[in-house]
Structure formats: C-alpha cells, structure tokens
Amino acid sequence: MFKICPNCGAHNTATAKFCTRCGTSLAGVVATAETAVQSAQPTSENEASTANTAAVSEQSSVPGSLTSSSAQNQPVTPQQAQSQVTPPDNSQQQVPPQPASTQTQSQQTAQGPAPTAQPYQQADQTQQQAQTPPEEPNPTVEATKKYAGSYWRYLVDSIKHPATVTRPYHQYFGLTSLAITIVSLALTIALMTGSAVSSLPGAIASNVLMTFLKLVFLVAVLMIAVVAVYYLVVNGMLGDRRRSFLTFTTEYAFHCNWMVFFSVFTLLMQMLGMINIGSIFLIWLLLSLGSGLFVISGTYMLFTAQSTNRFDKIYAYLIVGILLVIVFLIIMTFGLSSILGGIGQGINDFGRSFNF
C-alpha cells in the first residue's frame, strides 16, 4: 500500500503525511494498492497516446508558441504524471507530421500531372477576341432586306387574289410597283432604240434615245395622275376617307400588279436578245394587258368604295372619265411639244448627214 502525491505523482508510504519529494500534504489522500495501479496503467498509457495524437494534430494547425504556453498554464493530473513517467507503447507511437512541401508533392502525384499552359500566342488571340466587340449588322441593309421580303409577299398575294386585299401593307408598296413598271419599260425602250439606231451618227442616236425617254417620263406622270384623279373622286365626291393617298396607291397597284411581271419579263427578253419580229406581238400583248389592268383597277376602286354622302357611283365614274381626258390633254400638250420638237430636230440632223 502507498500514497500517490496529487502534485508530483511520487509514491509515498501508506502512513506518510507529507510528500517526500515536493512536501505536499497527504492527509486526504487514500492509500492505493499496487495491483490497482498496475491494472490502470495500460488505460493511462492509451489515454496518453490518444492525448499525444491530439496534441500532434493541434500542433500542425496551431503555432508552437501558443501550444507551449497553453501546456504550461494547464494543471498536471496524476494520470498525466504517470503517463510521463511510464514510456508509451512502441506499437502506438505517432508518426511525425510531414512537411507542407512533401504533402503538396504527394497530392500532386495522386492527382496526376498538371495540365500544360497554353501558348502565349493562343492566349493573346483569345484576349483579342474577347476585347473585340461583335460586329453589329448594318441597320440600312437589314431594313432593305425586310422591305424586300414584305414587298415580295405583297406581290404574291396580289397575284393569288388581285381583287381582295386581305391585310394592310406598307404605304410605299404601290409607288414601288409603279416605279418598277416604269423603269422596266424605260430600259426596254432604251435598249430597243439603241440597237435600232446604232448604225446612225452619234448625235442622231442620242437625240432619238432622249425622245423615247421623254415619252416614258410622260407615261409615268400620266400613271400618277390617273391614280390621283381616282383618289380625289373616291375621297371627295363619295366621301370614303378611310385611306391616305399612299395607302390608296398601294391598294390600287395591288389590283394590277400583273403589269410589274409583264414589264420585267419584257426587259429580260430584250436583255437576252430574244426580241425579234415574232416576239413583238407577244410584247405588245403583254403591254396591252398591263394597261388594261391599270384602267380596270381604278374602276374597281371606285365601285367598291364606301360612299358616305349618297353620291351615285355612276355619276362619279363619268366625272372621273372627264377629268382623265382633261389631264391627258394637258400632259400631252406640254409633253408632245417637246417630243415633237426632238423628233423634228432628229429628222433635220438625219437629212444633213445625207446632204439633203
């Protein structure tokens, strides 16, 4: 039997009142048998090894100065003193922690080789592409494409059902149809006239060509004047004010858009050299059909108008006829004088070339 000092852990006799090592009072200490101490020794060793493992793991994350200071401030228990006296078992010794560099190398080895860096040239190209903003589409080109697509649908609808306008269209589609028709006819006449007078002197050829172009211009003015007369009668006399002049022109051209295809077809035949004596009849037939559709469209627009002032449409039609005759006379009076003057000048030039 012996007493264990609670301060230093020294073994004293069972009758000792003070520790022989540090002098601590042993009055309240109970004497302990030797067998009980030996049986408790493996447990204290296991606890000591567990405490050492925890201390090593804490030392890897906490600086050494903080660990040592905290260990000095904590009181020493009898079990800890016994574990310090008794050496730990060799089978439970802790492996010292590896340096950080060694751990990093082992992790890199386990993860495999690091990917190679991209070449500097490829990185520069990628940076330039990221800095360069994407090219924005040209708004004018996009608007033109959209207008052309909508106009083509307008033409297709007018060919399928020329008498029924099923949807509203762009207000400039009517002027576009008239412009295509006039330009196609002008180019056709210019090409035909140029090939016919190619053997004549240059001054005479240019004079004849200008005469035909003036005639085409007069036709264009006449077409616009016809549409304007029908619009004034429908809007003013019949009181149908649902449409503006441009919208009225678009619906007017909708009913006679076949003339666009006729004029373009004639121009293609002239450009490909397919116009000869046999095809002249076909050309005049197409031009006559286009002109007839143009006149019929005005009449159709007049009789399908919504009259709000109870003016009779037959009288309105007669008034339209009278106005068209007046417009035709005015245009031809001022236009034919210029055309006839050009033709006379061409004849005089032609006579001088042969010494007449």
Which is nearest to 185 in space by CA: 269, 85, 126, 114? 269
Q: Is the pLDDT of residue 213 over 90?
A: no
Lowest mean pLDDT among 91-100, 159-168, 212-221, 252-261: 91-100
- Mean pLDDT of all residues belonging to the chain: 73
Map tokens 């033709």 to a residue.
343
Tokens of 350: 């032609």
**The pLDDT of residue 84:** 46
Torsion angle of C-alpha atoms 298, 303, 309, 312, degrees rounded to 10: 110
Q: Select the highest-mean-pLDDT range: 7-16, 86-95, 276-285.
A: 7-16
Q: What is the pLDDT of residue 79?
A: 47
* Torsion (CA) 98, 100, 106, 111 in degrees, nearest 10: 150
Task: Find tokens 């009225």 and name the residue.
Answer: 248
Condensed to tens digits (0 to 9), the pLDDT of residues 230-268 reads 999 999 999 999 899 999 999 999 999 999 998 898 888
When pLDDT is cut at 50, 70 and 90, the band that residue 100 belongs to is very low
Separation of CA 246 from chain center: 32
**Would the CA dihedral through 133, 135, 138, 144 be positive or negative?**
negative
Question: Is the Cβ–Cβ distance between 331 and 346 less than 8 Å?
Answer: no
More confident residue, 201 or 212: 212
* Model pLDDT, residue 130: 56
Mean pLDDT score, 173-196 = 82
Q: Return the pLDDT at 225.
A: 92
Of 93-97, 189-193, 291-295, 339-343, least confident by mean pLDDT is 93-97
- Banded pLDDT at 10 (limits 50, 70, 90): confident
Q: Which long-range contacts (CB under 8 A, 24 or more apart) does 5-8 make?
A: 5/29, 6/78, 8/81
Distance between start and end Cα atoms, the chain:
165
Q: Is the pLDDT of residue 158 over 50?
A: yes
Average pLDDT over residues 150-167: 92
The single-letter code of the amino acid at 93 is Q
Percent of the chain scoring above 70 in pLDDT: 59
* Predicted model pTM: 0.57
Cα distances (Å, whole numbers) of residue 6 to 29, 39, 41? 8, 19, 16
pLDDT single digits (tens) 36-93: 445 444 444 445 455 455 444 444 444 444 334 444 444 444 444 444 444 444 444 4
More confident residue, 216 or 311: 311
Neighbouring residues of 41: CB distance < 8 A, sequence distance ≥ 6: 82, 86
Position 13 scores a pLDDT of 85
Per-residue pLDDT tens over the stretch 301-326? 999 998 888 889 999 999 999 999 99
User: Taking a C-beta distance cutoff of 8 angstroms, is the pair 309, 241 a contact?
Assistant: no
Band (pLDDT 50/70/90 cuts) for residue 274 is confident
Assign 1 a pLDDT band (cuts: 50, 70, 90). confident
